[in-house]
Amino acid sequence: MTQTLEPPATESRPNDPQQRVDAWLAEFSEALAARDVARVTGMFATDSFWRDLVSFTWNIKTVEGREQIADMLGSRLDDTDPRGFRTSEPPTADGDVLSAFIEFETATGRGVGHLRLRPDADTGEDTAWTLLTSLQELKGYEERSGHTRVLGAVHGSDPDRRSWAEKREDEELELGRAVQPYVLVVGGGQGGIALGARLRQLGVPAIVVDRHDRPGDQWRKRYKSLCLHDPVWYDHLPYLPFPANWPTFAPKDKIGDWLEFYTKVMEVPYWSKTTCLSASYDEDAQQWTVEIDRDGERMTLHPRQLVLATGMSGKASVPTIPGQDIFAGEQHHSSQHPGPDGYVGKNVVVIGSNNSAHDICKALVENGVDTTMVQRSSTHIVRSDSLMEIGLGALYSEQAVENGMTTKKADLTFASLPYRIMHEFQIPIYNEIRERDKDFYDRLEAAGFDLDFGDDDSGLFMKYLRRGSGYYIDVGACDLVADGTIKLAHGQVDHLTENSVVLADGTELPADVVVYATGYGSMNGWAADLMGQEVADRVGKVWGLGSDTTKDPGPWEGEQRNMWKPTQQPGLWFHGGNLHQSRHYSLYLALQLKARREGIPTPVYGLQEVHHLS
């Protein structure tokens, strides 16, 4: 994609992108039908990547290079029986790379994907560089939508004369008592709600449980200045996009209200005020026993599948620091921060320098509160407008929509980039941002702020995918750091006194309030709490790619650890991430659960090995 010269046409390869892609897909389909694995793999570049989302592997799996592709096909080709590969719209050319959205079928379902072709350096023949295949629906179990939508009204003679509302009420009374859920989703934020909506549309009996009073409280109860740092085009939920007049960056209370509205209109079976107390798996019965407290009522549920949708940023990580027991002021994690009200006239020390730390510090100083940010390690900063214009604009922006980009196409394009080479696409973007915002970064560094752009200068997205931390999307706080309005201190915290925070170099910071903006632990911490450490260790670390960069230890695994796919613990799944990931990957998780519900064979190729326990 960095090439700018179109390669010359040859007798065997015309210049027309549609003809070239059609020719490749025709040969690909023929080779697959003939079960000629060698012929198929010969159509891929030596340094090629095939990313599959459930359609071939019943997994979320990337195979790299011809040898791995051959192994996957040798294991899965007969059962998958793929056919009908075709373009869904005209391909495009970018230098010597052709890109095409594709459609296909398998024995069990229908899929879409994305293909990139580039000419072989020796022969000039088109070879596949990247291929994405993703399952979209199961044959015989399609969602009722469009021409197949349910009627809703009772027309003609029907022995069941209950209204829609009466049927819903009866269903709610039975679920969890007379009728056990096939899936129990623990966690009712955007991830759990999106998955609940998908399962509802697929007819899978499920319950989403959450400890808060109302859907959306996960957002409402955060500090009052919280807004999404991702733009609206990136954040739609399944089925119901945000209205065209929705704010570009949604305030937390609007998100909370949208989630509550969404839960109701999508009829997600949602139990609020519900705490999951424990869960154990019966290997023989292949079901869970889950003890819950539903608004004071103790209940036992027996789902076949248990999904932890507690969020990758759900389990607060609070450091243990000497002196916390004698500190006379207030201490809390950023997830419990109420906002600046009530802190005027006090000294607040915020430990941390990533998104939450900046947001909290900005709100505090804007309300006249004396605030110090303690930066313990370097932080990646990217200005919001630069990220929107350079980093996201081609896929998620008003201009992208006007250019014909849909959310589905944007998601497929983003998903089509293999993680192994994604940083190569990100580095030029952040080099451009660094040059564009040079004065901004110079001012920050002059104020003593310790900046980084990731281990390999690949910026925000790779930091997020690898470790889920270490960055801030600037919406104004950095100017306050640069001019000294937000005070800045550096180093690890050594201890607390009755009225101060003492750093490792002896610096003493007067403090009436300490806010721990210290991030969150791995999602398998929730598994340990509910099911015990043995289960958590069987599953292993959740999140990260194995990139062998800071906080993402190797070996290379190539996909997000344990997310949206089968784990080493039967019947246990993890679902989370930002709104974009909750929307996109909820489909693939829901299809895997639906297939199991209907007894469709789901042989998993490449079940993730466990390399790290936490």
Mean pLDDT of 300-308: 98
What pLDDT does 223 receive? 81
Q: How confident is the model at residue 573 (pLDDT cuts 50, 70, 90)?
A: very high
- Rounded CA-CA distance 502/326 in Å is 13
Structure tokens at 427: 């580095």
> pLDDT tens-digit profile of 136-177?
999 999 999 999 998 888 777 778 878 889 889 999 999 999
Would you say residue 606 lies in a domain?
A: no
Q: How confident is the model at residue 189 (pLDDT cuts 50, 70, 90)?
A: very high
Distances (CA, A) of 394 to 163, 233, 246, 533: 46, 11, 20, 44
Q: Is the pLDDT of residue 413 over 60?
A: yes
Lowest mean pLDDT among 4-13, 57-66, 86-95: 4-13
Would you say residue 11 lies in a domain?
A: no
Highest mean pLDDT among 9-23, 250-264, 513-527: 250-264
Helix and strand numbers, DSSP H then E, in the chain: 18, 25
Mean pLDDT of 372-384: 97
What pLDDT does 314 receive? 61
Q: How confident is the model at residue 310 (pLDDT cuts 50, 70, 90)?
A: confident
> pLDDT tens-digit profile of 392-404?
999 999 999 999 9
Q: How confident is the model at residue 81 (pLDDT cuts 50, 70, 90)?
A: very high
Range of the domain at 359: 321-520
Same structural domain, 45 and 191: no
- Rounded CA-CA distance 112/104 in Å is 6
Q: Closest Cα to residue 80, out of 46, 100, 106?
A: 106
CATH number at residue 54: 3.10.450.50
Same structural domain, 420 and 501: yes
Would you say residue 556 lies in a domain?
A: no
Same structural domain, 366 and 504: yes
Mean pLDDT of 433-439: 97
Same structural domain, 55 and 134: yes
Of the two residues 15 and 140, the one the predictor is more confident about is: 140
- The pLDDT > 70 percentage for the chain reads 97
What pLDDT does 11 receive? 47
Report whether 162 contacts 184 (CB < 8 A): no
Same structural domain, 507 and 490: yes
Would you say residue 507 lies in a domain?
A: yes
**Strand 60-64 vs strand 44-53: parallel, antiparallel, or unpaired?**
antiparallel
Q: Closest Cα to residue 361, out of 455, 256, 449?
A: 449
**Strand 183-186 vs strand 305-308: parallel, antiparallel, or unpaired?**
parallel
Would you say residue 357 lies in a domain?
A: yes
- How would you label 289-311 residue by residue, b for 16+ Cβ within 10 Å and e otherwise? ebebebeeeeeebebbbbbbbbb
Q: Closest Cα to residue 371, out of 334, 407, 346, 396?
A: 346
Q: Closest Cα to residue 485, out of 371, 338, 316?
A: 371
What pLDDT does 525 receive? 85
Structure tokens at 320: 């243990």
Eight-class DSSP state of 563: B
What pLDDT does 1 receive? 32
What pLDDT does 523 receive? 83
Q: Give the predicted TM-score (pTM) of the model.
A: 0.94
Mean pLDDT of 377-385: 97
Report whether 397 contacts 233 (CB < 8 A): yes
- Rounded CA-CA distance 189/185 in Å is 10
Q: Is the pLDDT of residue 460 over 90?
A: yes
Structure tokens at 111: 């899929």
What pLDDT does 373 receive? 98
Q: How confident is the model at residue 313 (pLDDT cuts 50, 70, 90)?
A: low
**Strand 92-94 vs strand 97-105: parallel, antiparallel, or unpaired?**
antiparallel
Same structural domain, 438 and 366: yes
Q: How confident is the model at residue 507 (pLDDT cuts 50, 70, 90)?
A: very high
Same structural domain, 211 and 84: no
Would you say residue 147 lies in a domain?
A: no
Would you say residue 603 lies in a domain?
A: no
Same structural domain, 392 and 468: yes
Structure tokens at 27: 């040969």
CATH number at residue 330: 3.50.50.60
> pLDDT tens-digit profile of 241-270?
999 999 999 999 999 999 999 999 999 999
- Rounded CA-CA distance 228/384 in Å is 11
Q: How confident is the model at residue 8 (pLDDT cuts 50, 70, 90)?
A: very low
Same structural domain, 124 and 214: no
- Rounded CA-CA distance 420/462 in Å is 11
Eight-class DSSP state of 609: P
Mean pLDDT of 20-31: 98
- Rounded CA-CA distance 604/570 in Å is 12
What pLDDT does 2 receive? 35
Q: How confident is the model at residue 461 (pLDDT cuts 50, 70, 90)?
A: very high
Same structural domain, 454 and 590: no
Read off the amino acid at residue 119.
P
Would you say residue 94 lies in a domain?
A: yes
Domain total in the chain: 3
455 contacts: CB under 8 Å, gap ≥ 6: 549, 550
Same structural domain, 97 and 31: yes
DSSP string, 222-246: S-TT-B-SS-GGG-PPSS-PPPTTS
Same structural domain, 69 and 92: yes
Placement of tokens 């008592």 in the chain = 177
